[in-house]
Amino acid sequence: MHATEFLASESGPPVVPVMVLFGSERSLKIDVLHRIPGCHASDDDDADISFSRVAGDETQLTDVTDELLTVSMFGDRRVVMVEDADGFVKDNRAGLEKYVTSPAKSSLLILDVKSWPKNTRLAKSLNKSGLTVECSPLHGLALIRWLQHTANDQFGKKLDRDTAALMVALAGDRPGVLQQETAKLASLVGDAERISSEDVRQAVGDWRTETTWVMLDAVRDGNVAEAIQNLDNLVSAGEPVQKIMGGVTFVFRKFAEATERARQTRDVRGALTAAGVFPSAVGPGEAYLRRLGFQQASRILQLLSDTDANLKGGSRIDLQRQLEELLVRLSGTAQTH
């Protein structure tokens, strides 16, 4: 199971003698450890002496199994976690296979690895008596759902899907960073039960985030030269093109949605509000769509989709040049740079 499924379970973690945490997301591994009785993520925590950490390249399998098989004087369960255990697993595969088939029932062995091939004899044996938890990066809707759950479960704050998507667009897709940003927002909103998109826009990120907003406002208002200059500043500072594209998509996808809504209602301002455009941007957004006209505005979504595909390898044109072209076309002006 993935760590997000493990963390979302309300029944608590299953009691097993062996557990494998595999993947590259350290923050997810720490969260999983917090849910396991007797485990603590902090090396300074001496409250539970039955929990031991050992480095995979500095320990022997016999030392680990001896500790697991020793009856604790202070509790009925011992927990031993082997960190950075990829080499440990490789060097002791036969011994681990033997241990997994007949583990100490009152102890828990945790193997912290980066990879865990499912087709090995060890992995297949573990499926019968233990648990594997995948701690790999999240993407798309899975990341959005995890962030919503984290905001509610850890910080007691509601986070709608659109606001969570904005956080990802601004802060990136690393769970650890998103947790830090959520903690900051939870503190800033105080007693409010919900974190809004306006809260996120004002608080998440650094000067690059603010520069991105200035760039997108300039595109909306037809100030192409200003938009291109801000794009150049972002790229020169090392901001990834895909992350910039994420911000462009987040903002202009709402204009595309509003265009389709307005097709039915003929109420542009109402359509913008319903599409989730920030209240302060509804007026400028209405001016933008009216300046573009329906025919041109109806192509926004296709422009975003085509550019995203090209940035991911669908075109040999320089990535920054592709973004520049997109900004010009989204602006709806004939101005060049």
Residue whose C-alpha is closest to residue 136's, from 169, 114, 105: 114
What's the sign of the alpha-carbon dihedral 172, 173, 176, 178? Answer: positive
pLDDT in tens, the chain (337 residues): 888 888 777 676 778 899 999 998 888 888 888 888 767 544 444 444 478 888 988 889 999 998 888 765 555 678 889 999 999 999 999 999 999 988 888 888 999 999 999 999 999 989 888 899 999 888 888 899 889 988 998 899 999 998 999 888 888 888 888 888 898 899 888 999 999 988 888 888 778 888 898 999 999 999 999 999 999 999 998 888 988 998 899 899 999 999 999 998 889 999 999 998 888 889 999 999 999 999 999 999 999 999 999 998 888 889 999 999 999 999 998 544 4
The torsion region of residue 293 among left (phi > 0), alpha (psi -120 to 50) and beta comes to left
| Tokens encoding 60 | 């022997």
Q: Which ranges of 36-160 would DSSP assign to H, the alpha helix? A: 61-69, 86-91, 93-101, 121-129, 140-155
- 41 close to 70: Cβ distance less than 8 angstroms: no
Give, in degrees to the nearest 5, the angle at Cα 139 between 14 and 320. 160
Separation of alpha carbons 295 and 263, rounded Å? 11
**Helix, strand or coil for residue 22?**
strand
Indicate the residue type of 166: L
**pLDDT score recorded for residue 72:** 55
Q: What is the pLDDT of residue 334?
A: 54
Domain 3-134 has CATH 3.40.50.1000: no
Please tell me the predicted confidence (pLDDT) of residue 134: 92
pTM over 0.85? The answer is: no
What does the DSSP 8-state code read for residue 310? I
140-203 — its CATH code? 1.10.8.60
How far is CA 291 from its chain centroid?
Answer: 36
Domain extents in the chain: 3-134, 140-203, 207-331
25 φ/ψ angles, rounded to the nearest 5 degrees: -90, 100
Q: Which two tokens stand for residue 75?
A: 């509790």
Confidence at residue 75, expressed as pLDDT on a 0 to 100 scale: 56
SS3 assignment, position 261: helix
Q: Report d(CA 105, CA 103) in Å as an integer.
A: 6
Instruction: Tell me the CATH number of domain 207-331, given options 2.40.30.10, 1.20.272.10, 3.40.50.1100, 1.10.132.10.
Output: 1.20.272.10
Looking at residue 335, its pLDDT comes to 46
In this structure, are residues 3 and 29 in contact, taking their beta carbons and an 8 Å threshold?
yes
DSSP 146-213: HHHHHHHHHH--B--HHHHHHHHHHH-S-HHHHHHHHHHHHHHHTT-SB--HHHHHHHSS-HHHHHHH
